[in-house]
Amino acid sequence: MIHVRLEPEAKDIELHRIKTVLGLLNRLELRPTMALVVRDGCLLTPDRRLYNNDHVLVRTVTSAG
């Protein structure tokens, strides 16, 4: 299971059976260039592995203006 913080919605969710950043984005129905994915303050590219109990921030980039 991984813990996901969604921004700018400021919502926390938990997801199961996610192995990579790309898998996470697909689950959230986001294209890779629609969001930043951050773990421990570091940006992750879509090919990076995710591990059990990871805390990940997903920030969509489309400006709200």
Partner 1 sequence: MKCKRCKAQAVVALPSHNTAFCEECFYLFFTRQVETAIRRQKMFGPDDRILVALSGGKDSLTLMLELALQGYDVTGLHIDLGIGESSIQARAKVEAFCRKHSLNLRVLETASVGLAMPDVKKYIKRPVCSVCGKVKRYYFNKVAREEGFDVLATGHNLDDEAARLFANTLRWDAAYLSDQGPSLPAAEGFVRKVKPLYRLTEFETANYAFLKGIEIHSAPCPYSQGASFTNHKQLLGELEHRSPGSKFAFYDGFLRNGRPAFQLLEEEQGDELAPCRECGSPTSTELCGVCRVRMALSEKKREAGELA
* Residues making contact with partner 1 (CB under 8 A): 7-8, 31-34, 36, 38, 42-48, 59, 61-65
- 14 versus 40: smaller Cβ distance to partner 1: 40
Q: What is the separation of C-alpha 22 from the centre of its chain, rounded to a whole number of angstroms?
A: 9
3-state secondary structure of 15: strand
Shortest distance, CB of residue 40 to partner 1, whole angstroms? Answer: 12
Shortest distance, CB of residue 51 to partner 1, whole angstroms? Answer: 16
The answer to whether the CB of 53 falls within 8 A of the CB of 2 is yes
Shortest distance, CB of residue 61 to partner 1, whole angstroms? Answer: 4
